[in-house]
Structure 1
Amino acid sequence: MNNKKPIWKRNLLVLSIAVFIAGIAFSEVMPFLPLYIDTLGTFTHQQLNFWSGFVFSGIYFVSAVVSPWWGKLADKKGRKLMTLRASLGMAIVLAAMGLVTNVWQLFFLRMLQGFFAGFVSNSNALIATETPKQNSGQALGTMASSFTAGNLLGPFVGGALASMFSYRITFFVTGGLLLICFLLSLFFVHEEGFKPVTEKKLDKASGVIHELKSPALISGLLLTTLIIQAANNSINPIVSLYVRQLMNNHGNVVFISGIIAALPGIATFLAASRFGALGDKIGTQKIIVAGFIGATILFFLTAFVQNTLELGILRFLVGFTDACLFPQVQTMLTKNSPGKVTGRIFSWNQSAMYIGNIVGPLLGSTISGFSSYSMVFIVTAGIVVLNLILFRINVIRNMG
């Protein structure tokens, strides 16, 4: 009897490890990025806030444009090739960030990182298309948990490395981690039975839309993704600066920022698969609505915290609402998209994420520059309410 694991299971094992490592790599530089920028010149409070927003957003300007093109290429040439392209390119670029001497060089490299981005989305697309339909929910859930676990560990690792060594050493380590992702994909991932999309009509977005059962529902989900990312990322550039303000510039700001940045990931990791299973029973859309309501309340309360303990508790609870949102939107996209355009739909969702990632940090850094850090959380709560209203109009009304 042949006990050899099916290829899709082996791919799932290897890529879940790879996206775990990638999750660490992408998130470990985030807690100290504004503080790293502060070492690259002499900035006023307002300038530092603006530069933090621009550098955070740099990766996404380019990604939002090139992601659909990479998605089309993935459907034609295969997803494995795209994972190799993304991991090797980003390994080189991230390591180079440790060598910059001014903020413009850092901004340029973040944009270059955006050009090579897509390792996780292409890994997900490969798993979604290679895995039997009856196992796809479980497989994508495993991928989401692995990436979230990496994202959770990253800020701890990054904060510790930056405290023990330096910001620059941390970038070199990050490049090394992404090189490991490249090697894992190169030697251990096998794309089986890939059928290149050759239909000319699918070259155009209109052809892909024509294949969808409910284009309005899919576009509604893409808009939901965009606003979720904008809301979450309006916070990210200012968390370490908010921590510094709450600590009155005393104590180990880098390490505390790392812990607070990691807390939402802990909650998301603990809850994502459970909320996914609950969504299968009662309806994924109900989980998403509950996430919107919870996030609105928590963001609003965060504006009024007095210390880092209160901030940490609320950021941890926000992680549970995160588990109700982005993974569940991906589940709805998977269930409502035909297999042959999976790469394209995933890439559109990626572009929606990137646009949200552009808008969010710029919004957060602009509001904090002109007003206060507290006002960022109040405005973000308002954005989540808007997302809830649009989700009910664009998605729930088009279901069934």
Structure 2
Amino acid sequence: MKAQTPTWKKNLFILSIAVFIAGIAFSEIMPFLPLYVDSLGHFSHQELNFWSGLVFSGVFFVSAFISPLWGKLADKKGRKLMTLRAALGMAIVIALMGLVTNVWQLFILRMAQGIFAGFVSNSNALVATETPKEKSGQAMGTMTSAFTAGNLLGPFVGGALASIFSYRIPFLITGILLLICFFLSLFFVHEDNFQPSQNQQLTSSKGIIHSLKSPALIFGLLLTTMIIQAANNSINPIVSLYLRQLMPGSSNVVFVSGVIAALPGIATFLVAARFGALGDRIGTQKIIVGGLIAASIFFCLTAFVQNSFQLGILRFMVGFSDACLFPQVQTMLTKNTPIEVTGRIFSWNQSAMYIGNIFGPLLGSTISAFWGYSAVFLVTTAIVLLNLLLFKINVLRNLS
């Protein structure tokens, strides 16, 4: 008689499909979002860069403050409820973005999206808490690969839809994709082993910190997450505009933007699992250090590209460094966090991501408005090097 498949494996299978779909949904609108902003009014160069950064940051500003509240609720009521809340809420809000008539409406909806954000992080938290500890690295690697694969396809899908139809259609498609994620989670994900913690000390942040074996290690990892996200997202709002500068007069900017936006995902998808396995052998922290060094080199070189081909190569190389960073930080958090507070630790990590996502686009758009696009990559290089220094001080010291 064939043994029944464990619930954690079923959850991993379904949620890996769901985050793959969510990856497509979230990334398909990113390549042309600044161009969509440009279509909603008549903006000067500085105004366009300002609004692009503001629209990128709106969702993250709200989410940075709201995520810990959702994390606390997840530890009390279950992570599945949080995945349902996030998927359905974002499906509605993002679909409405395709109907806006001015940039203010788009900005307000991006802020509203932040209230419902967190589908992927809560899916990761559910998998982390339901999966046996000895399988956590494998499970988190699978989730990361699935989401990265979705991010890989999303820019192609979004760029093609925007080129064939209009900028508005991908927002409606995104809403449908997230609705599919909602129904997958509703009918096929089971949180059988969830039990609310009876420890009253774990209801407060102070109690959670006391429950950690090494609080300094956890907060060092959260700081690393924040700076990684700030560095990566200082570039995202200006990539398509930078490309338009490198391809003056070209009619293929939208499509090429989609291709270039997908290139880091291709590289990450190819090597993320292998870097994870290597980290299990030699130490995850060594993989993170290597990723920070590589990222600083690639970002610096990008400031001096002369054409879209050179930009594409370096963006592809950035994908290799990305595979060494955020997925590995999540792995370290999973292995160093008690299961009773995983939801809140992951929500804190999500808030750290969002804080980085807030300041990154604003930093990138401000620098590009006054000093040009190349300056953004040089400043990002400095941020990555600062991250490397802080990681070695705050994290590696607590592992020794």
Q: TM-score range by the shorter chain?
A: over 0.9
Confirm or deny: 8 A CA contact 1:80 1:191 kept in the other structure: yes
Letter in 1 for 2:87: S
Q: How big is the shift at 1:198?
A: 3.4
What letter is aligned with 2:301? L
- Structure 2 portions without partners, runs of 5+: none
Is residue 316 from structure 1 mapped to residue 316 from structure 2 by the alignment? Answer: yes
* TM-score in terms of structure 2 length: 0.99
Q: Does 1:327 align with 2:327?
A: yes
Shift in Å at residue 33 of structure 1? 0.2
Q: What is the one-letter code of the residue matched to 1:113?
A: Q
What CA RMSD, in Å, does the superposition of the two structures yield over aligned residues? 0.7
SS in structure 1 at match of 2:240: helix
Q: Deviations over 1:103-130 (max 9, x none)?
A: 0100000011111001001100111111
Residue 42 of structure 1 and its aligned partner are, at CA, apart by: 0.3
Question: 305-314 or 245-254: which moved more?
Answer: 245-254
Alpha-carbon separation, structure 2, partners of 1:370 and 1:306 = 20
The reply on whether 1:289 has 2:289 as its aligned counterpart is yes
**In 1, distance between residues paired with 2:267 and 2:249?**
28
Give 1:98 deviation, angstroms.
0.4
Aligned ranges for residues 264-279 of structure 1 at < 5 Å? 264-279=264-279
Distance (Å, rounded) in 2 between the aligned partners of 1:336 and 1:71: 17
Is the CA contact (8 Å cut-off) linking 1:74 and 1:343 kept in structure 2?
Answer: yes
CA positional deviation for 1:197: 2.1
Asked if the contact 2:32–2:159 (Cα under 8 Å) also holds between the matched residues in 1, the reply is yes
- Offset at residue 145 of structure 1 (A): 0.3
1:3 to partner: Cα distance: 2.8
Specify the alignment match of 1:142 in structure 2. Answer: 142
Measure the CA separation in 1 of the matches of 2:168 and 2:97.
8
Q: Which amino acid in 2 is paired with 1:220?
A: G
2:213, 2:259 → 1: CA distance?
A: 44
Q: In 1, Cα distance between the equivalents of 2:335 and 2:191?
A: 22
CA positional deviation for 1:7: 1.1
Could you tell me whether the CA contact under 8 Å between 2:136 and 2:335 is conserved in 1? no
Q: Partner amino acid for 1:267? A: A
Deviation per residue, 1:331-356 (Å, 9 max, x gap): 11111111111111100000000000
What SS does the aligned partner of 2:325 have? Answer: helix
Quick check: 1:98–1:172 contact (8 Å CA) kept in 2? yes
- The residue number in structure 2 matching 1:338 is 338
C-alpha deviations, 1:303-327, integer Å up to 9, x for none? 0000000000000000000001111
* Residue of structure 2 equivalent to 1:220: 220
Q: Which residue of 1 aligns with 2:103?
A: 103
Hey, what's the Cα distance between the residues in 1 that align with 2:359 and 2:198? 35
Quote the Cα distance in structure 2 between the aligned partners of 1:8 and 1:57: 35
Q: What are the Cα deviations for residues 76-125 of structure 1, in whole angstroms up to 9, with x where unaligned?
A: 00000000000000000010000101101000000111110010011001
Amino acid at match of 2:362: L
Alignment of structure 1 residues 360-375 onto 2, 5 Å? 360-375=360-375
Query: Deviation at 1:134?
Result: 1.5
Q: 2:168 and 2:198 mapped to 1: Cα distance?
A: 45
How many equivalent residue pairs? Answer: 400
Q: CA deviation at 1:249?
A: 3.4
CA apart distance, 1:281: 0.6
- Code of the residue aligned with 2:17 in structure 1: it is I
Describe the superposition over 1:139-184 as per-residue Cα deviations: whole angstroms up to 9, x where unpaired: 1110000000001110000000001111111110110000000010
Post-superposition Cα deviations, 1:279-303, rounded to whole Å, max 9, x if no partner, equal: 1111111111111111111100000
Is the contact made by 1:127 and 1:139 (CA closer than 8 Å) also made in structure 2? yes
CA apart distance, 1:132:
1.3
SS of residue in 2 equivalent to 1:220: helix
Paired residue for 2:86? Answer: 86
SS in structure 1 at match of 2:216: helix
Q: After the TM superposition, which segments of 4 or more aligned residues of structure 1 sit over 3 Å from their partners?
A: none
The letter for the 2-side match of 1:325 is L
Q: 1:191-206 residue pairs with structure 2 within 5 A?
A: 191-206=191-206
Structure-2 separation of matches of 1:275 and 1:38? 39
Give the 3-state SS of the residue equivalent to 1:383 in structure 2: helix
Return 5+ residue gaps in structure 1 as ranges: none
Q: Which letter does structure 2 place at the counterpart of 1:101? A: T
Mapped to 2, the partners of 1:228 and 1:329 lie a distance apart of 10
Give me the whole-angstrom Cα distance separating, in 2, the residues matched to 1:290 and 1:370: 32
Q: 3-state SS of the aligned residue for 1:191?
A: coil
Alignment partner of 1:14 is 2:8: no
Q: Where do 1:346-357 residues align within 5 Å?
A: 346-357=346-357
- Separation (CA, whole Å) in 1 of partners of 2:108 and 2:144: 29
How many Å apart are 1:136 and its aligned residue?
1.4
Aligned-partner Cα distance in 2 for 1:42–1:200? 55
In 2, are the aligned partners of 1:76 and 1:198 still within 8 Å (CA)?
A: no
Tell me by how many angstroms 1:246 deviates.
0.2
Moved more, 111-120 or 191-200: 191-200
Report the secondary structure of 2:306's partner residue. coil
**Identity of paired residues, percent?**
77
Structure 2 residue 247 is matched with structure 1 residue 263: no
Q: Secondary structure at the match of 1:167?
A: coil
Amino acid at match of 1:307: N
Match of 1:164 in 2: 164
Q: 2:242 corresponds to which letter in structure 1?
A: Y
Q: CA deviation at 1:192?
A: 0.9
